[in-house]
């Protein structure tokens, strides 16, 4: 429906608890490359280490072990994202569900800051 409408969606708020898992979320978001603001209120099943790794970068060669530099020819997942709000809804109810690894969150923040700096420099 979004593709047919030609809508350039810039802001999205998803409140779903356990409706989406990481794979579903990562299948939806690539269709929204114009997003600048993303707010997610979801369960641990969607907000995983894999989610943060994908937000860090997306290589055109998925087998690549190296991280591209911002502004390279690699494809950035949600390239215009400036604001990200995440609320994990089931953190107190699921003692067995692992939280995202902080070692995946910090590089995502650093990479996104670098992208914003490059955008500010060239535009």
Answer yes or no: is 71 within a domain: yes
Answer yes or no: is 89 within a domain: yes
Q: Report whether 116 contacts 82 (CB < 8 A).
A: yes
Answer yes or no: is 59 within a domain: yes
pLDDT in the model for residue 73: 42
Answer yes or no: is 1 within a domain: no
Confidence of residue 36 (pLDDT cuts 50, 70, 90): very high
Residues spanned by the domain of 98: 10-122
Answer yes or no: is 2 within a domain: no
The structure's pTM equals 0.73
Q: Report whether 35 contacts 60 (CB < 8 A).
A: no
Q: Could you give the CA distance from residue 114 to residue 112 in angstroms, rounded to a whole number? A: 5
Confidence of residue 119 (pLDDT cuts 50, 70, 90): low
Neighbours of 44 (CB within 10 A): 20
Count of structural domains, the chain: 1
Residue 37 has pLDDT above 90, yes or no: yes
Mean pLDDT lowest among 20-24, 41-45, 95-99: 95-99
The tens digit of pLDDT for each residue in 39-86 reads: 999 888 888 899 999 888 754 443 334 444 444 445 578 888 999 999
Answer yes or no: is 43 within a domain: yes
Answer yes or no: is 3 within a domain: no
Answer yes or no: is 4 within a domain: no
Residue 91 has pLDDT above 50, yes or no: yes
Q: Report whether 35 contacts 9 (CB < 8 A).
A: yes
């Amino acid at each position: 429906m979004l593709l047919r409408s030609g809508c350039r969606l810039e802001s999205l708020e998803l409140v779903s608890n356990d409706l989406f898992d990481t794979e579903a979320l990562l299948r939806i978001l690539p269709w929204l490359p114009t997003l600048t603001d993303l707010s997610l209120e979801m369960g641990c099943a969607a907000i995983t280490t894999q989610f943060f790794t994908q937000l860090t970068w997306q290589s055109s060669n998925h087998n690549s072990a190296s991280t591209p530099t911002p502004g390279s020819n690699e494809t950035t997942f949600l390239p215009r994202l400036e604001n990200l709000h995440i609320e994990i809804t089931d953190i107190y109810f699921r003692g067995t569900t692992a939280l995202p690894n902080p070692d995946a969150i910090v590089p995502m923040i650093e990479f996104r800051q670098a992208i914003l700096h490059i955008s500010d420099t060239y535009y």
